[in-house]
Amino acid sequence: MKHFIKQGLLFLFLGVLIFSFINDRYRHSHGFRNSMDIEKYDAVPDHIEIANVGSSHGTNSFVYDDLPLLGYNFAYASQNFHYDLLVLQQFEEHFAPGAILIVPVSYPSFGTTDMSRQDYIYYQFLRPGLIDHFCLEDYLKYKLFPVLTAEEKLIWLIYDEEEREPEWDSIDYNMHMDDMEEVAQKKAQDFKNVGFGDTRSILDLRELLTYIDNQGWEAMLVTTPVTWQLNQHFSASFREEFETLISGLAEEYDVSYYDYSQDERFETQMQWFRNADHLNTKGRAYFSEIFFRESLTCQEGARDGR
């Protein structure tokens, strides 16, 4: 029995060693880190003065490089208001007092309550206590031993990708006009199917605004630019309903609301977009410049007024 236990322990030890080596190699591959935007949350700076949350509309709309304030983009593809809140809670220590929080609001923001498909991403950077329905098995699978769920990405163990900037900061691409039409139509249909009147989302947004207020931060609601190809699929009454909802919330929580969805500096200017509702790198820089100039001036004016 002693011999068996000794051999068994040695076997286990070597096995753990081999597996750890493979897992570690995978975790540190550029491919894995690029795909998860790990860098983004590894190096969140301290004393953030302005930041945004949100989904891909957030990732693709705000850059803080030319701002005299320390800014940070916390948005993540398809991230809903609830996860916006969790991300802020995770990194709340990194904010300066009175920081400004930009909350992008668009039609799809109110439809993405089901995050089950990408819940696992948040295991990478949220602490366990913040994760909805935290499950130890998922924590092991996604956080500690991601190689278990690598699938075809196992190739990175042999051929690693090049190190690259996170996706949200590197895309410089213009969609062909014909494709733009098609994509716009499809997206508009998706948005309409989802609708923006989802009660759960509105409650989540309310919770987020309350949290921001309780932290002593200032919130700004923004509807980021989209193309006319997308806008044409929404009726005036649909847009009005949306506008009324957001303006109502802005008033209730005493926050500013900026709507660029039909701004003529963007709506018909295809050079700023990579697809129907996402800005490209140049568009992002241009929008950020305009938005920060206009909003921060207003914000200061409002502060002075108070």
Partner 1 sequence: MLFNSLHFLLFFPVVVVVYYATPPSFRWIWLLGSSYYFYMSWHPAYIILIVFSTMVDYLAGLGMGREKEKRGRRKYLWGSLAVNLGLLFLFKYYDFFHESLRLAASWFHLSYSAPSLGLLLPVGISFYTFQTLSYTIDVYRGNREPEKHLGYFALYVSFFPQLVAGPIERSETLLPQLRASHSFDARRVSRGLLLMTWGFFKKVVIADRVAQVVNTVYGRPGDFSGWQLTLATILFSYQLYCDFSGYSDIAIGGANVFGISLMENFRRPFLARSIAEFWTRWHISLSTWLRDYVSVPLLRTLRGLKKIYRYVLAIMLTFSLSGLWHGANGTFVIWGMIQGVYIVLGHLTTPFRKKLRAKCGIADHVWYLSAVQIVFTYALVCVAGIFFRAQSVADAWLVLKNLGTGWQVLVQGEKAKELLLSMGMNEFGFIVTMASIVFMEVVQYGQEKRWFSSPWLEARPIWFRWTAYYLLVLWILLFGAWGGQNFIYFQF
Do the Cβ atoms of 84 and 208 come closer than 8 Å?
yes
Q: Is 133 a residue that touches partner 1 (CB under 8 A)?
A: no
Residue with Cβ nearer partner 1 (5 or 236): 5
Q: Is 141 a residue that touches partner 1 (CB under 8 A)?
A: yes
Q: Is 162 a residue that touches partner 1 (CB under 8 A)?
A: no
Q: Is 21 a residue that touches partner 1 (CB under 8 A)?
A: no
Q: Is 22 a residue that touches partner 1 (CB under 8 A)?
A: yes
Q: Is 276 a residue that touches partner 1 (CB under 8 A)?
A: no
Q: Is 233 a residue that touches partner 1 (CB under 8 A)?
A: no
Residues in region 90-109 near partner 1 by CB under 8 A: none
Find the part of the chain contacting partner 1 (CB under 8 A) among 57-65, 141-149, 174-182, 286-294: 141-149
* Count of residues that bind partner 1 according to CB under 8 A: 20
Query: What string of H, E and C letters represents the secondary structure of 243-286?
Result: HHHHHHHHHHHCCEEEECCCCHHHHCCHHHEEECCEECHHHHHH
Residue with Cβ nearer partner 1 (155 or 298): 155
Q: Is 131 a residue that touches partner 1 (CB under 8 A)?
A: no
Residue with Cβ nearer partner 1 (121 or 220): 121
Radius of gyration of the chain, Cα coordinates, nearest whole angstrom: 22
Token pair 């108070």: residue: 306
**Strand partners for 48:** 95
Q: Is 154 a residue that touches partner 1 (CB under 8 A)?
A: yes
Segments in the chain forming alpha helices (H)? 2-27, 30-36, 38-42, 56-59, 81-90, 119-122, 136-138, 177-194, 199-214, 228-231, 236-253, 264-267, 281-305
**Strand partners for 304:** none
- Rounded Cα distance between 18 and 12, Å, is 10
Residue with Cβ nearer partner 1 (149 or 170): 149
Binding site residues, partner 1, CB under 8 A: 1, 3-4, 11, 14-15, 18-19, 22, 136-137, 140-141, 147-152, 154
